[in-house]
Each structure stands twice: as structure tokens, then as C-alpha cells.
Amino acid sequence: MKSNSHLVRRALSAVLVAVVVSSAGCGWLRGKSGYEKSIETRPLEIPPDLDQPAADSSMQIPQATTPRAAAAAPVTGQSFIIADAPESAWRRLGLALDRIEGVTINERAESQSVYDVSYEGESFLVKVAADGDASRISAVDQAGQDVRTGAAGRLLALLKQRLG
């Protein structure tokens, strides 16, 4: 019986050694592959010129002028063009008019693309017209004639700063 138990022990030891060797894999037989030192595993490096915001003038926001400052400036308000479709330009124009101090929108006519406004005691229309792929914004009197002086000219100059 002793010989049987001795054979069983040897068989168990052989199986145990085989399990340990097979679970260890090939790592014992081979060295490192070199993958651990590859370039792809290095940390991300940021180029020195990209760690600060751009300092060129293209990213600066122009100073907004108040209506009083625009009134003191020479009156050169003329129609101007913005790169936008007329429908979108009409909505943007309405937002800009709402935000300018002293402007009262008396009536909005989207079908005609005009705003009837009062500014500095004068009433006139500010209209949007298609100009190719862009839109032209201008001020006209009740007779439909372009107005470029007085309150209309100053308002056009303000709108050009905000929309142009």
C-alpha cells in the first residue's frame, strides 16, 4: 500500500508542478518585449506655444460705444451689408434694436422685413433687403427714401458696429 500512496504523491506533485508552470505562462521563458518602452506610452507633451491663448488682434473684442458717444461722432450712417440671409438678418436686427438704449420699436413687419422705430425723437423705418447671398440694412423715411442723417444715421452707425 505504501507504494501506491508513494505513486499517488508523485503523480500529485507532477500535476501540481504542471499546473504552476502552465499558469505562469511564457513570462519565465522569455524576457521583456520592449513594448513597455515604446514611444506610444509616453505622456502627452504640449508644444510650448500652445499653453497660452493667442495674443494676436484677431481675437480681441471691439469696444462698444454708448449712444451718446455715437451722437458726438460725425454722422456717416449709410446702409451696410451683413453676411446673413434676410430672414436671419431681420431677427438679428430686432435683437440689436431691442438692446440699444433709446430705441423704441413701434411696429414689426416681418413680411416686409422692416421695423418702424423711434430714436432720439425721430421716427423712421429700418429695413432688411436681400443683396445677393447677404443682406443690406438701411433706414428709410415714410415715403421710402433713404435716410442717412440725423438720428437714423447715428442708429445705422450703431447697428453697423453691432451687426457688421
Give tens-digit pLDDT for 90-117: 999 999 999 999 999 999 998 888 999 9
Q: Domain 77-163: give its CATH superfamily.
A: Outer membrane protein assembly factor BamC (3.30.310.170)
Q: Residue 141 has what DSSP assignment?
A: -
The highest-confidence range among 30-44, 58-72, 96-110, by mean pLDDT, is 96-110
Output Rg (C-alpha) for the chain, integer angstroms.
39
Please compute the mean of the pLDDT values over residues 107-135 and round it to a whole number.
90
Q: What percent of the chain has pLDDT over 90?
A: 18
Q: Report strand pairing: 114-119 vs 122-131.
A: antiparallel
Domain ranges within the chain, ordered by starting residue = 2-50, 77-163
How far, CA to CA in Å, does 126 sit from each of 40, 51, 55, 58, 106? 60, 46, 37, 30, 11
Q: Is a pLDDT exceeding 60 seen at residue 55?
A: yes
Which residues are paired to 140 by β-bridges? 125, 146
Element (H, E) at 127: strand 122-131
The closest alpha carbon to 81, from 132, 44, 9, 116, belongs to 132
Average pLDDT on 12-20 reads 81
Angle formed by the axes of helices 86-99 and 150-163, to 10°? 110
Q: How confident is the model at residue 118 (pLDDT cuts 50, 70, 90)?
A: very high
Report whether pLDDT(69) > 50: no
Please give the average per-residue pLDDT across 134-158, as a whole number.
Answer: 87
Q: Give the whole-angstrom CA distance, residue 148 versus residue 61.
A: 27
